[in-house]
Structure 1
Amino acid sequence: MGSLIEIRPGRRIWVEVGKASIDAHGHASHTVAILVHGSCARSEQYAAQVPVLQKAGLATVAFDYLGCGRSEKPNDFAAYAAEELYQDLLAVFQRYSKGFAHILLVGHSYGTYLVNRLASEQLDRVAGVVLIGAGYPVPGAGRLRWIFHLPLFVLGWLQPYLTDQFIKLAFHPDTFTTNPQLIELERGRSNENPPYMFRAFHLQALTLFRDAAQYNDWLRSIRAPVLIAAGDKDFLTPLDGMGSKVANFLKDSRTAEIPLAGHQVHEEQPAALNDKILEFLDAALGKR
């Protein structure tokens, strides 16, 4: 069950907390997984991972960024600054990791930037990191955001087109015929986002770090083992592009490329991805 939580003063976000399955000896979990979704997305995208993690003995925490999913959506440009989103994640971490010996961080897409920063700052608490569709700063990427400077009424008019362009890049070509329901679900979710929110988010997203060198420093600082997973047709954050760059700076990383999946691999091929995550958990966390 989830609810709206004032995670910081004036910032109410949707949080869902799930308990781990109790083992045969009646022991509760010592590990909690905190799941962080991508840009302008929602925690429901982890619907296939949450029960698997709980069955494996982990408690779970999934939440919607401010402005996304079931969280509140204030019409305030500054509310969606990257630093504000990070401080929300830090507040989630501090509140919901209490009482747990180990924390697993799971991030998708833009969420991987937030997760990597957190893992670099919480060295003694984070026991493992899963990066799905890992992002890496690309020179000149800011130039692609010119469209978000358009007036809001124009962005609202263009929203269905922008959604369709994103979906073409985010999903494996076969998914459009094998799982059209998922495509339509994602299209509906994306078109629900208020234009003022996704404009504010995208125009400020890259301010999370000053440059690639700072991001590299975060990655070098991470002590925990890291799994980097991506679909074999991830056109947005390919494993042999961004994913490999991220891996180059990590002390302990492994990669997994999932067949017949794109950027939304956790929704397109959840069983295959879950198997890789469970293998990683056994190696990284043991009995948890």
Structure 2
Amino acid sequence: MLGSLHEVRPGRVLYVETSYGNPDGEFAGNSLVALLIHGAMCHHSQYAEQAKALIGSGVSVVVFDLLGCGDSTKPRPDDHAERMRVYGPQEIYQDCIAVMNQFTSEWDSVFVAGHSYGGPLTVRLAAEHPKRIAGILCLGFGYPTAPAPQETSWLRRSCRAAGWGKGKSGFGWWLKLPEWMLQLIMPYVASIIIHTVYHPNTFKRRPHMVSNEWWAWAGNAPWVVQALTPGIGKLVKDMEELKSLIRSISAPALIIDQESKAPPGKTGPELMAADMQDGEGHAIPMSFHQVHQDQPDAVNEYLLDFLRRKVCHVQV
């Protein structure tokens, strides 16, 4: 995939990669492009396995880094309020619209995937651009329910990461540190994050990938962490507004999340899918929040089958 920096909106320079799908792939005749949106303080390369599967199947792919993340620029306004605005959820959302408009126009329709923070961004895109979006995938973003004991729901993770949570497992304390001090302890913070979002089995099966992710997180700019993270739960006002958006989506939706203690039919992704006009949800065993990296083969199997049945309407 070829990538470079692009000013998608005034002063907002993002790293964007594009690749055409295999002309001999199963879905090559559908003029479909996938727009992949990563989570907060993450990066586009976390979609490597999904991008490979999509491109091989004939779907073109556009991936990018959110402002302040990965290879995108990391502006640092001196004014604190301006910094919070620059990295706020409404500005991030407008960036997503700009990338979609500028880099997917040569295809007839768009399939949008969003992980974690990218989940509500994807939901809002689908709700507000129904004629452009042919389907969506939400990863690590199911309704709060009975999660695996080592993890918590997306909503609680978001609140705690933003400093709203209570108890010893809340992460808000490091968002309030002086910037220089946060920079000093970023390796420690990275270790907390990595051991929270990846399944223990992944440390054994994919140690090189986990190591790379630790370095990526430890290398995040502290001013971006402190400005972007509090906005995770603020793209929508509350859970009711989120549900209203979800119910309005007409495009088919695939919801995939981590393993759950809930009984079949009652897992977070299944409950979220049930609120949609055309949704289906799956909780994948042996996975945590980074479900698409913990279990890429399982995610890709669900993804390609979903495209076949719901988006590209391939006759089997």
Q: Distance in 1 between matches of 2:260 and 2:276?
A: 24
The gaps in structure 2 that reach 5 residues or longer are 78-82, 144-154, 166-171
* TM alignment of 1:165-204, pairs within 5 A: 165-204=192-231
Partner of 1:3: 4
Q: CA distance change for structure 1 residues 135 and 67 in 2, over 3 Å: closer, same or farther?
A: farther
Shift of 1:192: 0.8
Q: Distance in 2 between matches of 1:92 and 1:140?
A: 27
CA contact (8 A) 1:233 1:263 kept: no
- Matched residue type, 1:65: L
Q: Distance in 2 between matches of 1:164 and 1:47?
A: 22
The gaps in structure 1 that reach 5 residues or longer are none
Shift of 1:154: 2.2
1:41-61: CA deviations, max 9, x gaps?
000001111121112121110
Q: Secondary structure at the match of 2:61?
A: strand
CA contact (8 A) 1:127 1:284 kept: no
Shift of 1:65: 0.4
* TM alignment of 1:110-189, pairs within 5 A: 110-134=117-141, 137-138=155-156, 141=160, 142=162, 143-144=164-165, 145-189=172-216
Partner of 2:289: 263
- Matched residue type, 2:97: L
- Matched residue type, 1:117: R
Q: Distance in 2 between matches of 1:276 and 1:186?
A: 24
Shift of 1:21: 1.2
1:137-186: CA deviations, max 9, x gaps?
45965513353122112222232222111111111111222222122111
Q: Distance in 2 between matches of 1:161 and 1:241?
A: 32
Shift of 1:245: 4.6
Q: TM-score, normalised by structure 2?
A: 0.83
- Matched residue type, 1:285: V
1:105-135: CA deviations, max 9, x gaps?
1011110010000000011121111111115
Shift of 1:248: 3.9
Shift of 1:260: 2.3
- Matched residue type, 1:99: E
Q: RMSD over aligned Cα, in angstroms?
A: 2.3
Q: CA distance change for structure 1 residues 193 and 39 in 2, over 3 Å: closer, same or farther?
A: same
Shift of 1:204: 2.4
281, 300, 309: which is aligned to 1:283?
309
1:235-255: CA deviations, max 9, x gaps?
xxxx96643453242111111
Q: TM-score, normalised by structure 1?
A: 0.91
Q: Secondary structure at the match of 1:48?
A: helix
Q: Return 125-134 or 144-153, whichever deviates more.
A: 144-153
Partner of 1:79: 86
2:111 pairs with 1:104: yes
